[in-house]
Amino acid sequence: MRLFQLLLFFFFFFFFFFFFYFLSFLVFFFFFFFFFFFFFTTHFDYFFFFFFFFFFFFFLFTLIIYLFFFFFFFFFFFFFKFNII
């Protein structure tokens, strides 16, 4: 039973890890790309700022998601381990 809980923990952790990584990439990419498309076609001097802005907030957003799910599943696993829930 403990092995099953451990496998379940890692399965959900890595599933949400990659799922939200992909989801956050899609959200940021389509938002920044399509929303600012006409602005950056007329203001090409902001092109590199756009990439810095995009990658900075993309990695910041994914890091927050990673930490949230890591701690969520970490405590969820130990609640099962010590039979708290």
Number of domains composing the chain: 1
Q: Residues 22-68: pLDDT tens digits?
A: 777 777 777 777 777 766 667 666 667 767 777 777 777 777 877 77
- The DSSP annotation for 13-70 comes to HHHHHHHHHHHHHHHHHHHHHHHSHHHHHH-GGGHHHHHHHHHHHHHHHHHHHHHHHH
Please give the residue range of the domain that contains residue 69.
Answer: 2-81
The half-sphere exposure of 51 on its side-chain side, counting CA atoms within 13 A, is 4
What global pTM score does this model have? Answer: 0.39
Q: How far apart are CA 51 and CA 54, in angstroms?
A: 5
Which residue has better confidence, 4 or 85? 4
Quickly tell me which residue has 């496998």 as its tokens: 7
